[in-house]
Structure 1
Amino acid sequence: MGTHLITGAGSGIGAAVAARLAERGEELWFLVRDAKRAAQLKAQFPGSNTLIGDLSAPDRLSWALGQQAQPVELDSLLHIAGVVQLGTVGDLTTKVWNETLAVNLIAPAELTRLFLPTLRVSRGHVVFVNSGAGLTASAEWGVYAASKFGLRGLADSLRAEEHGNGVRVTTVYPGRTATAMQQRVRSQEGLPYDADAYIAPESIATTVLTALDLPRDAEITELTVRPGR
């Protein structure tokens, strides 16, 4: 049984990954933004553990986590939380840029830094659930794509730095997935939302677990997943 720390487990892909790991009897830790969300997840996943920390305020994560009991061992750190705001470069304000980069890029970097010592001891695995926007940027996706391009660079550098320590690093690039975030995106685009047209979160969970379960003689560095319909 492994120990896993997950961000974004409250819905969508994160919830699907958490459910799959819970079915296997793995030890789950969730990073959540407040006590209310912590209570909800602990009720949903009996026996799980929570850490309270705000991804939108990465400068405070070190202090916040330092006040709480943390996992002694950690087999994987799964970065799944994210935010998205569409808009043209000509219209987006620094407030949107700062908020998006904080949650999607700076907080994952800080969390990874904080848990790297534990991951090194366990020869653990860091998984970044990125996006197709981390590979190709389209009009009005500038701020989100910039955060995800940055996340790709973070993962690539981390992989090169930690390979000798036995820490594996995987980036998953999902296409449009049937989640609450996708509903918000379609609303911003002014287009209808059809869950059947997109990837099921459970399919992305299968992708993440495939990377985690790969024998130690190999490492999946990147996986791109697109809707099959």
Structure 2
Amino acid sequence: MTSLPTALITGASRGIGLAIARELEATHNLLLGGRDEQRLKELAATFRSAEPFTADMSDDEDVERAAKQIAGLDVLVHSAGVATRGPIDQMSRQQWRDEFEVNLFAVAQLTTLLLPQLRATNGQVVLINSGFGLMTLPDNSIYCATKWALRAFGDVLREEERPNGIRVSSIHPGKVDTDMQHDIVEYNGGEYQPELYLKPESIAKAVRLAVDATEEATVDMISVRPTRK
């Protein structure tokens, strides 16, 4: 890799994560995070300067193994996430555990492991949260809970790391035209209308705004909503 700053993006194989990788490609060396190593290798070959970061974010040992391979880091973007839907009285304890593992615990673990590298570069952490990190909706209890918890994690991390020069930004997208949104519409029995949703590239632009903020400035939070409802 060249001497450009390095950005690690989890969930980079599709959707918002892939759009963020495309947005940052011109200014950063990329580490593309995901579980499918072959897919990540093929994807990395399409970028100017990118390498796979293969890890199962639900496996703490695998996350630790992968993190040890990173020598230097300037930007950490957490875009990986999962969503479970259904009434609270139909959600099992295991479903709560599984979603918190990916949406919060893995984020906290990977961030903690990489703090020394980020402190060394006065780096940035960008959390791709959700509109559900600012509001709630029936049949989304687990997802909302993970995103509100992620918001609290980001707020505390921001204050703890200010003295160390690390900036922390939370991005809260509304409904985005991704596979997850297709699943939501299918769950609700509706008709999918892509023109009603944000494009993943719009969220990538919000990440760009946070990443490009001058050194004395931190973009604490950005909320992005579809123009049409």
Q: Same fold (TM over 0.5)?
A: yes
1:111: Cα distance to partner?
0.6
Q: Find the counterpart in structure 2 of residue 216 from structure 1.
A: 215
Report the Cα distance in structure 1 between the residues aligned to 2:66 and 2:162, rounded to whole angstroms.
29
Q: Find the counterpart in structure 2 of residue 102 from structure 1.
A: 101
1:46: Cα distance to partner?
4.8
Q: Find the counterpart in structure 1 of residue 23 from structure 2.
A: 20
CA contact under 8 A between 2:132 and 2:143: conserved in structure 1? yes
- Corresponding position: 1:45 with 2:47: yes
Report the Cα distance in structure 1 between the residues aligned to 2:46 and 2:183, rounded to whole angstroms.
24
Report the Cα distance in structure 2 between the residues aligned to 1:214 and 1:208, rounded to whole angstroms.
10
1:97-130 Cα offsets, whole Å, 9 max, x none, are 1111111100010110011000000000000010
Report the Cα distance in structure 2 between the residues aligned to 1:25 and 1:64, rounded to whole angstroms.
23
Aligned with residue 11 of structure 1, among 9, 14, 18: 14
Q: Find the counterpart in structure 2 of residue 136 from structure 1.
A: 135
Report the Cα distance in structure 2 between the residues aligned to 1:87 and 1:38, rounded to whole angstroms.
32
Q: Find the counterpart in structure 2 of residue 126 from structure 1.
A: 125
1:25: Cα distance to partner?
4.3
SS in 2 for 1:170: strand
CA contact under 8 A between 1:133 and 1:145: conserved in structure 2? yes
CA contact under 8 A between 2:5 and 2:28: conserved in structure 1? yes
- 1:77-116 to 2 correspondence within 5 Å? 77-116=76-115
Amino acid aligned to 1:2: P
Q: Find the counterpart in structure 2 of residue 174 from structure 1.
A: 173
Report the Cα distance in structure 2 between the residues aligned to 1:165 and 1:220, rounded to whole angstroms.
16
Unaligned runs of 5+ in 1: none
CA contact under 8 A between 2:171 and 2:221: conserved in structure 1? yes
TM-score by length of 2: 0.94
SS in 1 for 2:198: coil
Q: What is the number of residues matched between the two proteins?
A: 225
Does 57-66 or 79-88 show the bigger shift?
57-66
Report the Cα distance in structure 2 between the residues aligned to 1:164 and 1:202, rounded to whole angstroms.
32
Report the Cα distance in structure 2 between the residues aligned to 1:43 and 1:49, rounded to whole angstroms.
8
